[in-house]
A and B are shown apart, each in its own frame.
Chain A
Amino acid sequence: MNDDELELSIAEALTPAPVEPPEDRIAALRQRAELARAERAHAGHGHEQERAADPTGARLRSVDTDVSPAPRRARPAGSGTGTRWWMAGAVAASLALGAVIGGTALDGDPEDEVLARGVPEFEATLDSDGAVVAVEGSLAPEGRIVRLRSDTLPDLPVGEYYELWFLAPGDGPDGLDRISGGTFHPSYDGSGTDVVLHAAVDPELYPTLEITRELPDGDPQPSDDVVLRGEVSLLAEDGR
């Protein structure tokens, strides 16, 4: 068998079958592309130059992606394995971002307008293992507007996301008593986290905040992977 014949045999023996990638992975990549495109459009050329001059975010992302994900603790019994909830969340997040971006093009800075609609009501600083998230909550006609900001919240593998929870005092291993405040992930361009979520929740009744790391497994229940936890501080009526 000469070299050409041997190479032909190698190719025949080892060439993988032409299979298609999993649909959920394709969806995740498409979502990442959509977000990156939207962020690029939103940031504009000037912002890109600014980021290039200050590569902190890129450095954070580089460090984060070089680290294997931490082992996950088990989910509660009866967890689902589908992807519909994650997909629904991803679509909702895309729509929400699209609405913000679209609004930006028409109205200037809708995020500020959204935040201006609310009356400052509570705040919290969640701090653990070097990750710090500042939370600001406002009372608005539709519920609470919650803004999360962080430069240190670790990036996640594609498909995974964080979820914010408001916990009642009775929430615990024997029974969940919590309301989801929404899902998010750090910006894929490495510029950190600055997200605005909406939640129909009363922080006086649900005064504990928790951020969990969630897998794209379709399970609507919180995972046991608690990243950050802390108590809200209610502000006086004048916002102090």
Chain B
Amino acid sequence: MRREGQVLLDHSFAPHRACSLTAMPSTTDGPDLQLLQQRDPDAWEALYRQTYPMMRGYAARRAPAGADPDDLVSEAMARALDRIDTFEDRGVRIQAWLFGVLRHVVLEHVRSSSRSQAADLDTRADQGRGPLQTVLHEEESAAVRAGFARLSDDDQEVLWFRVVAGLTAAETATLVGRREGAVRQAQSRALTRLRTTMQEVHP
């Protein structure tokens, strides 16, 4: 049931991105910053629900072994709630800013851990494909996942932010502390390396 003042969720995602941020509205049309800064519980719940799949997906892939992705996302949301007053609309969406908070939380845990885990995540279900298409698609997806897992952390991160989470190059640059052009270049190189690793695991 929608509560008074609740921010409506945007599920108008791109067809190939079950919960990508790409199709999310800009900061002016998205979550009401004023409500968030007033610590409106409905606004925060809506933001949590809206960003949870992507946040959890990122945390699950980047978290050290033994860390609960839900704990990391919860901690990130708590910190975001504490620090929302510091958020400024400079072309970076709140969702992208949240990724920055989560990234810090994850890095803190990674620094205190010796190894990271490769999480198997539930990805979106196939829709509208025949049996043969589904088999072929699954093979391709398996190759992508296996190849992706062989990439460096930096390559994985830039592809995750740009391609999966749908952040702009400028937003990604803000998160990873690089220039926009460097992000585009890193993305291109990561794609090239992914082709190579996919060939290695599925020749």
Contacts and interface: CB of A to CB of B under 8 A. Distances in A.
A6 B18 CA distance: 17
A91 interface: no
A20 B16 CA distance: 19
A29 B164 contact: no
B39 A15 contact: no
Scoring A7, A9, A13, A25 by chain B CB atoms within 10 A of each residue's CB, the highest score goes to A13
Interface stretch (A31-39, A104-112, A133-141): A31-39
Interface in A1-39: 1, 3, 6-22, 25-26, 28-30, 32-34, 36-37
Contacts of B150: none
Contacts of B57: 14-16
Given A14-B144, A21-B48, 14 more contacts: A11-B20, A12-B16, A12-B123, A12-B141, A14-B160, A15-B57, A16-B18, A17-B53, A26-B45, A26-B49, A30-B44, A33-B39, A34-B39, A61-B82
Interface string A50-65: 0000000000010001
A25 B74 contact: yes
A157 interface: yes
Contacts of A16: 18-19, 53-54, 56-57, 121-124
Nearest to A31: B41
Contacts of A66: 108
Interface string A156-177: 0111000000000000000000
Contacts of B137: 12
B115 interface: no
Q: Which 7 A-B pairs have the closest CB atoms?
A: A16-B57, A13-B141, A13-B144, A37-B39, A30-B41, A21-B52, A158-B78
A15 B74 contact: no
Nearest to B9: A18
Interface of B: 11, 16-20, 38-41, 44-45, 48-49, 52-54, 56-57, 70-71, 73-75, 77-79, 81-82, 108-109, 112, 121-125, 137, 140-142, 144-145, 148, 159-160, 163-164, 188, 191, 194-195
Contact of A10 (B75, B109, B194): B194
Given A6-B194, A10-B163, A33 B19 contact: no
10 contacts: A10-B144, A13-B141, A14-B121, A17-B121, A21-B70, A21-B73, A26-B49, A29-B45, A65-B75, A159-B74
A110 B53 CA distance: 43
Contacts of B125: 17
Contacts of A14: 57, 121, 123, 144-145, 148, 160, 163-164
A6 B176 CA distance: 23
Contacts of B11: 18
Contacts of A40: 39
A7 B123 CA distance: 16
Contacts of A25: 48, 70, 73-74, 77
A10 B148 contact: yes
